[in-house]
Structure 1
Amino acid sequence: MDWLERARAAEQLQDRDAAIALVSAHAECFSDDPDRHDNHLWHMDLLVRAERNPELTELALTDRHALRRLNRSLRERGMESALRERAEDGDRDALYVLVRLMCETGRMHEAQKVVQDIDPENKYAHQIVASDCWP
Structure 2
Amino acid sequence: MEWFEQARAAEQLGDWDAAITLVSAQAECYSTDHYMHNNHLWHMDLLARSERLPELMELARTDVHARRRLNRSLRERGMEAALRSRAKDGDRDALYVFVRLLCETNRAQTAYLAVQDFGPEDQYAHQIVARFRSPSSGAQ
Could you say which TM-score interval applies, normalised by the shorter chain? Answer: over 0.9
TM-score norm. by structure 2 comes to 0.93
User: Cα distance, 1:48 vs. partner?
Assistant: 0.4
Deviation at 1:6, TM superposition (A): 1.0
Q: Percent identity?
A: 70
- For 1:82-97, what aligned pairs fall within 5 Å after superposition? 82-97=82-97
Q: Which amino acid aligns with 2:79?
A: M
The corresponding residue for 2:76 is 76
Deviation at 1:132, TM superposition (A): 3.1
Q: Could you list the per-position Cα deviations for residues 39-63 of structure 1 after superposition, in whole angstroms to 9, with x for gaps in the alignment?
A: 1111011000111111101111111
Partners of 2:68 and 2:132 in 1: CA distance: 19
Structure 1: 5+ residue runs without aligned partners? none
Q: Is the CA contact 1:84–1:98 (under 8 Å) kept in the aligned structure 2?
A: yes
Q: Which position in structure 1 is the counterpart of 2:131? A: 131
The aligned runs of 1:16-31 (5 Å cut-off) are 16-31=16-31
Gaps in structure 2 of 5+ consecutive residues: none
User: Quick one: distance in 2 between partners of 1:9 and 1:68?
Assistant: 26
CA distance in 2, matches of 1:101, 1:114: 12
d(CA) in 2 for partners of 1:2 and 1:65? 26
State the 1:118 CA deviation. Answer: 1.6
Residues matched between the structures, number: 135
Give the aligned partner of residue 117 of structure 1. 117
Structure 1 runs (4+) greater than 4 angstroms displaced: none
Aligned-pair distance for 1:117? 1.6
Partners of 1:106 and 1:133 within 8 A in 2: no
Q: CA RMSD in A?
A: 0.9
Tell me the equivalent position of 2:4.
Answer: 4
Structure 1 range deviating more: 28-37 or 118-127: 118-127
State the shift of 1:71 in Å.
Answer: 0.2
SS at match of 1:94: helix
